[in-house]
Amino acid sequence: MRKSLKDAGFDLNGNDTSEMLSNPIGGIKQTTIYQGLLTLTLNLDLEKLASWPDATIYSEAYQINGRGLSRSGLGNLLAVSNIEALPAARLNDLWFQQELLDRAISLRVGRIAIDDPGEFYYSQYGLNFINSTFGCPDILPTDLPSGGPCYPLAVPAVRLHVGTPTGLNLSGAVFSGNPAPPGPRKSAIRGALTS
């Protein structure tokens, strides 16, 4: 069924990550926690769906569960796990992308995170590690309002990517400000801190 849907232009994927982490000594308290992240993505190929060449709509949603070890056991600034965040159901990415000139130019508009795969602050090698410092650089979440446009909060943005035949790629983007809604709230800095 998935192959039939993909051939028709609907590419639906799901991934579940579960972790149990412990703090046997030090920190705020000795504890063992569970945390989980269910990620659902939907990619719509508009060429197959509406005869619109090189255009796609992409969405990504999270169901975040459990208590983060940084928040509940350590009190540290840099989150221990790269899936740690406040428990919630979130729509992260939702963007439209148009590619031009045989896919040498790509324009993306919508809700975008700066650490999306293949974008600005992303390391393909970071997926091999638990520690969050291999994901979105912690300088952004600790310095920007509500953690900036990093996991788990995307923001309205426009991104332009230009690739050259020599292999040089140039990208630029404009992101909106604070990704969290106004009013009293817990900090979105990967759930590690509260205000």
Q: How many domains does the chain have?
A: 1
Q: What is the pLDDT of residues 135-150, one digit of tens each?
A: 666 666 667 777 778 7
The yes-or-no verdict on residue 157 having pLDDT over 80 is yes
**pLDDT tens figures, 6-22:** 888 999 999 999 999 88
Q: Is residue 48 part of a domain?
A: yes
**Contact (Cβ atoms closer than 8 angstroms) between residue 167 and residue 135:** no
Q: Nearest CA to 73 among 31, 131, 34, 24?
A: 31
Whether residue 34 has pLDDT greater than 80:
yes
Q: What is the pTM of this model?
A: 0.79
- pLDDT of 183 > 70? The answer is no
Is 77 within the bounds of a domain?
yes
Domain ranges, residue 126: 2-175
Q: Is 195 part of a structural domain of the chain?
A: no
162 within some domain = yes
Mean of the per-residue pLDDT values for the chain?
A: 82
What is the CATH number for 131?
Answer: 2.40.160.180
